């Protein structure tokens, strides 16, 4: 290709990718028979023949890409086998959890955050909902009540939403199984509402006179409707199973009746100006800017490790397992759980003063002085989440590495055994051959899949997860060698009487050297093709065993047991992302390996294409 520059015609250099693909698919140079025999080694000839096969070359490139991703990606997407979060279960693919509507730009009145969705109201009182709004197959919080009017306050709970309009009327919608969205009659009769809160299957309304009203799942939440602080409250906050209050005279109080970690409120906190809560801890900040955290503090998330700030903290907010706070200088700080970077304040906010911060489960929204919105935290899952709330992409790449490792180790074991037995049986013949072939026939006669399932069930029940992974590899390897052994035996039979073998035998070369140094290198092509095809077979067998529940056990992922978790009609109909991606990757990988094996066979024996 040429281009015209200042009246001169110059050739445009092709790009790197074009050169790479041209090099890979250009095929071998046309030569005469004599030139080809003189200039090219057998390996070079096989390589050129394989490269001419565009289908096999394409399969090789695709497989190498899958293999590279499975090998490298787990370092960037580490797997936590103990992690589960029911608030994130069965979420569809996409990263739009924090894609707030443009109508909120510069007009934010309030934002509240649920597990996978967020709600907001503009200064004009207009309601906005975004994110993954579907709660169940029949409940979706995007369907709001009609004629709500101008919204002045709203909160998002675990699976429901409360909203208050400028007329003091309260609306609730979403999941109402535990009565968390059923507004009690005493709430409807209130003259004024100071604050509303929504939590895990629970809701709390705080009246203007400081009285709290709880409704929802009272069995799962420790709340005492007759606590001594009724009429004195200025603020309330909810954990997943308790309620914290702040009195008008600046005191943090527990509104339950049980003695637990929440009731052990730190002493000498002074005048408390703000309170917050995560799913399992409570926090308070006093007028000196000191933060106190108590409750069921996680050793993993360390919610009580408050970072140092240049100025005192004046406001605090809680997510599921992390806190954010705002200093009097408008600086934002965060600490606690950070698996989705929800506690990592973006650099764009450094040195920027904020007017408000809204924190929820795994997301944060900061409103700067100029009205712009800055977000950080969980944006969503590119391939969705499973029934335990785990990221499918993370499990897919880690499961790919495990599936390939199982197939690879099993093939190595079966290849070593098959080559040894086939070589010895084919070279020595006689009684040795008879004994080895009878052993081979015994292994072949075993019903492969049922026998592997029985062995896995009997031996594997007493083993840990990692031990059972190695058990599967060994079982597959020990039961997969007969086919290769017979193939090698037949090849050794065909070459053991050739001239170079007879010559080696006549000069006194040891028998084991004749077998492994002279005969095997001449049949290595057959072994290579067979091992390649067996690799795909072992991967499919592992996937079959895991799909049936006899393979690599959960929570260690493989492509097979990811499909095992999706083998129900409910999952297939409603949560397609849980089985589509794993099945596509497994299918493509196995097809590519088979095409590579076919290409190697044709490259080694070009006459096979004519048969």
Q: List all residues 6 or more positions away from 198 whose beta carbon is below 8 Å from its beta carbon.
A: 112, 155, 156, 157, 158, 160, 161, 162, 180, 204, 238
In this predicted structure, the answer to whether residue 224 has a pLDDT above a threshold of 80 is: yes
**For the segment 140-180, what is each residue's pLDDT rounded down to a tens digit?**
999 999 999 999 999 999 999 999 999 999 999 999 999 99
The pLDDT score that the predictor gives to residue 103 is 87
From first CA to last CA, the distance across the chain in angstroms is: 42
DSSP letters, 17-84, are HHHHHHHHHS-PPP--HHHHHHH--HHHHHHHHHHH-HHHHHHHHHHHHHHHHHHHHHHHS---TT--
Quickly tell me which residue has 């070589």 as its tokens: 423
Domain boundaries, the chain: 61-79+391-610, 94-221
pLDDT digits over 318-375, tens only? 999 999 999 999 999 999 999 999 999 998 888 888 999 999 999 999 999 888 999 9
pLDDT in tens, 61-114: 999 999 999 999 999 999 988 888 989 999 999 999 999 999 898 899 999 999
**Among the ranges given (270-284, 468-482, 498-512), the one the predictor scored with the smallest mean pLDDT:** 498-512
**Alpha carbon distance 43, 203 (integer Å):** 74
Q: Single out the residue of 43, 51, 44, 47 nearest to residue 25, CA to CA.
A: 51
Q: Is 490 left (phi over 0), alpha (psi -120 to 50) or beta?
A: alpha
Q: Cα(11)–Cα(20) distance, rounded to whole angstroms? A: 19
Report how far residue 232's alpha carbon sits from residue 251's, in angstroms, rounded to the nearest whole number: 10
> What span, in angstroms and rounded, lies between the C-alpha atoms of 184 and 328?
39
- What would the two tokens of residue 437 be? 């072939």
Q: Give 155 or 542, the one with higher predicted confidence.
A: 155
- The pLDDT assigned to 32 comes to 53
Q: Mean pLDDT across the chain, nearest whole number?
A: 87
Radius of gyration of the chain (CA): 34
Query: Does the pLDDT value for residue 14 go beyond 70?
Result: no
Cα(422)–Cα(443) distance, rounded to whole angstroms?
14
CA distance 227 to 230: 6
For residue 227, the model assigns a pLDDT of 94
Report the 10 Å Cβ neighbour count for 307: 12
> At residue 37, does pLDDT exceed 50?
no
**pTM of this structure:** 0.83
The pLDDT value given to residue 82? 87
Q: Is 226 helix (H, G, I), strand (E, B) or coil?
A: coil
Residue 42: the pLDDT is 61
Highest mean predicted confidence (pLDDT) among 10-14, 126-130, 408-412: 126-130
Give pLDDT, residue 239. Answer: 96
Q: Which residue has the tokens 């006899």?
A: 550
As a whole number, mean pLDDT of residues 372-388 equals 93
In the prediction, which pLDDT does 39 show?
A: 47
Please report which confidence band the pLDDT of residue 15 belongs to, taking 50, 70 and 90 as the band edges. low
Choice between 191 and 498, residue whose per-residue pLDDT is larger: 191
Look at residue 608 in the predicted model and tell me its pLDDT: 53
Among the four given CATH numbers 1.10.260.40, 2.60.40.1930, 3.90.110.10, 1.10.3720.10, the one describing domain 61-79+391-610:
1.10.3720.10
pLDDT in tens, 249-269: 999 999 999 999 999 999 999
Per residue in 116-136, pLDDT tens?
A: 999 999 999 999 999 999 998
């Amino acid at each position: 290709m040429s281009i015209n520059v200042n009246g001169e015609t110059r050739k445009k250099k092709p790009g790197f990718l074009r050169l790479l693909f041209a090099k890979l698919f250009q095929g071998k140079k046309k030569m005469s028979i004599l030139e080809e025999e003189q200039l090219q080694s057998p390996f070079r000839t096989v390589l050129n023949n394989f490269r001419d096969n565009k289908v096999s070359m394409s399969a090789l490139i695709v497989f190498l890409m899958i293999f590279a991703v499975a090998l490298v990606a787990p370092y960037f997407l580490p797997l936590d086998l103990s992690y589960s979060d029911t608030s994130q279960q069965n979420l569809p693919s996409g990263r739009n959890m924090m894609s707030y509507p443009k109508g909120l730009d510069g007009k934010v009145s309030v934002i509240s955050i649920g597990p996978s969705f967020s709600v907001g109201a503009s200064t004009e009182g207009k309601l906005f909902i975004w994110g993954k709004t579907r709660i169940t197959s029949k409940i979706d919080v995007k369907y709001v009540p009609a004629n709500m009017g101008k919204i002045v306050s709203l909160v998002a709970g675990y699976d429901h939403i409360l909203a208050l309009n400028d007329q003091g009327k309260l609306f609730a919608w979403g999941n109402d199984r535990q009565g968390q969205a059923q507004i009690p009659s005493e709430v409807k009769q209130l003259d004024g509402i100071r604050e509303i809160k929504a939590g895990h299957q629970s809701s709390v309304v705080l009246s203007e006179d400081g009285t709290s009203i709880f409704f929802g799942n009272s069995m799962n939440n420790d709340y005492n409707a007759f606590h001594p602080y009724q009429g004195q409250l200025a603020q309330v906050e909810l954990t997943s199973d308790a309620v914290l209050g702040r009195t008008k005279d600046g005191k943090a109080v527990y509104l339950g009746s049980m003695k637990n970690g929440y009731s052990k409120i730190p002493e000498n906190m002074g005048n408390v100006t703000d309170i917050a809560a995560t799913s399992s801890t409570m926090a308070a900040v006093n007028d000196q800017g000191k933060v106190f955290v108590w409750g069921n503090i996680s050793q993993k998330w360390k919610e009580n490790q408050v970072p140092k700030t240049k100025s005192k903290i004046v406001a605090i907010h809680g997510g599921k397992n992390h806190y954010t706070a705002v200093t009097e200088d408008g600086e934002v700080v965060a600490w606690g759980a950070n698996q989705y970077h929800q506690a990592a304040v973006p650099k764009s906010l450094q040195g920027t003063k904020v007017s408000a911060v809204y924190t929820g489960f795994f997301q944060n929204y900061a409103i700067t002085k100029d009205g712009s919105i800055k977000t950080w935290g969980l944006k969503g899952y590119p391939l969705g989440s499973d029934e335990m709330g785990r990221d499918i992409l993370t499990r897919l790449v880690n499961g790919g590495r495990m599936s390939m490792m199982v197939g690879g180790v099993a093939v190595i074991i079966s290849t070593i055994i098959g080559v040894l037995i086939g070589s010895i049986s084919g070279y020595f013949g006689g009684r040795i051959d008879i004994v080895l072939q009878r052993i081979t026939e015994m292994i072949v006669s075993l019903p492969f899949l049922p026998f592997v399932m029985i062995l896995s069930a009997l031996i594997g029940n007493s083993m840990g997860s990692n031990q059972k992974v190695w058990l599967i590899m060994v079982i597959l390897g020990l039961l997969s060698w007969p086919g290769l052994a017979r193939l090698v035996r037949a090849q050794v039979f065909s070459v053991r009487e050739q001239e170079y073998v007879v010559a080696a035998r006549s000069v006194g070369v040891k028998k084991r050297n004749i077998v492994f140094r002279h005969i095997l290198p001449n049949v290595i092509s057959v072994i290579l093709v067979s091992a390649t095809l067996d690799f795909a077979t072992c991967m499919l067998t592992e996937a079959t065993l895991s799909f049936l529940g006899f393979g690599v056990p959960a929570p260690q992922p493989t492509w097979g047991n990811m499909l095992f978790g999706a083998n129900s009609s409910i999952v297939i109909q409603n949560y397609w992302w849980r089985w589509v991606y794993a099945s596509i990757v497994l299918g493509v990988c196995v097809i590519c390996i088979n095409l590579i094996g076919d290409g190697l066979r044709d490259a080694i024996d070009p006459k096979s294409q004519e048969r």
